[in-house]
Homo-oligomer: A and B are copies of this chain.
Amino acid sequence: MSVDLKTAIASDVARIEQAMLDDLALSATDTAPLLAEILRYGLLHGGKRIRPLLMVVCYRICGGGADKGGNEAGVDIHRLAIAFEYLHGATLFHDDVIDKGLIRRGRPSVHVAYGETAAILAGDFLHARAMLLIGRGGGIPALDIFCQATTALVDGEFMQLHNARNYNLVEEDYFKVIMDKTARLIGAACQIGALIAGAGAAEQEALREYGLCLGCAFQIIDDLLDYQGDEAATGKAVGNDFCEGKMTLPLIIAIARAEEQDRQRLLEMLAHPEERKDRVAEARALIARYDGFTLARQKAEGMIADGLARLHSVAQGEVWPERAVLEALAAYVLSRNK
């Protein structure tokens, strides 16, 4: 993240962090001490808070949060925004149980530290708490968007299960999954921010689409970093997705474009899980030969351009600082190396 972007968002990120601390302290008075401890462990150690931040910024872009004299007014948007961090946390707790993920944000994941039972239950708690916060603060229209993004997220996971070991995936399958698994929740954060500020349907839709584009681009870059990232920066082994047989965009593009012999070679490597680990370099070379990485990056760049165009259709006039944040976040998605 650039220094400028970090500075621009520092105050909001701090307020989101504080709102989360306050809410956890509040809900912890009713809760079992172990649950409170797990929630702090799982939520308060790292995380970029991108989703709540997007909600706050979109709220302001649409004129929320200031009275006529320019003073802070309206709902406690930071408190409301933590619903997105809670839902994200619930997803991570459950995903780490499902994927047997051992490390999260540089520490043992919740189920490793506290057991599977605790991880499943704490995720359920966050789910319910998130819905409560969104409903109380944003009303039924906000709840509706939030819940639909949540059910879509589960849908996306099931599509991914369904696609497993299908090495003939096309780009459309890939985009359906990342839309549901990643992008819709980010789109929902942007849209709900606009909704709560009282924006009309057109503005809400434009910011939602900005969020969808940002989310898709984010996931494409994530999948590129898996092949091309610096292990020291990402903290993950290069080629991990390939070793697991995960069909991400660079590989899908390469298989679609490769000459028959190379296509068969890639499919053969995928068909032999035990050999994949030793074939990462070869797979990378084949993907590169058919421009899988370049074309995937171009897709991400195209989506960011689309997202910015949607943003520019909304954010005009006096809202420059917030618009600059969304532009910088879009640039960050493309430039990040971890």
A interface vs B, CB < 8 Å? 27, 30-35, 90, 94, 97-98, 116-118, 120-125, 127-129, 131-132, 135-136, 139-140, 143-144, 147-148, 150-152, 154-155, 157-159, 161-162
Contacts and interface: CB of A to CB of B under 8 A. Distances in A.
Interface majority SS (helix, strand, loop, mixed), chain A: helix
11 contacts: A94-B120, A97-B116, A98-B116, A98-B120, A125-B151, A127-B150, A131-B135, A131-B147, A132-B143, A135-B143, A135-B147
Nearest to A94: B120
A226 B293 CA distance: 61
Copies in the complex: 2
A143 B154 CA distance: 21
B128 A151 contact: yes
Contact of A132 (B30, B122, B147): B147
Contacts of A144: 132, 135-136
B151 A32 contact: no
B155 A30 contact: yes
Contact of A151 (B129, B143, B162): B129
A158 B124 contact: no
B120 A32 contact: no
Given A132-B143, A140-B139, A143-B131, A94 B124 contact: yes
**Residue among A33, A117, A154, A159 facing the most chain B CB atoms (10 A cut-off):** A154
A124 B143 contact: no
A295 to B, nearest CB: 28
Nearest to A142: B135
A151 B27 contact: yes
B132 A120 contact: no
Contacts of A152: 30
Contact of A32 (B90, B125, B155): B155
Contacts of A158: 31-32, 34-35, 118, 121
A283 B140 CA distance: 53
A322 to B, nearest CB: 28
Contact of A128 (B33, B94, B139, B154): B154
A38 to B, nearest CB: 9
Nearest to A143: B135
Given A35-B154, A158-B34, A147 B129 contact: yes
Given A140-B139, A144-B132, A121 B157 contact: yes
Contacts of A155: 30-32, 35, 125
**Residue among A120, A123, A150, A152 facing the most chain B CB atoms (10 A cut-off):** A120
Nearest to A150: B128
Given A30-B155, A132-B148, A143-B132, A118 B35 contact: no
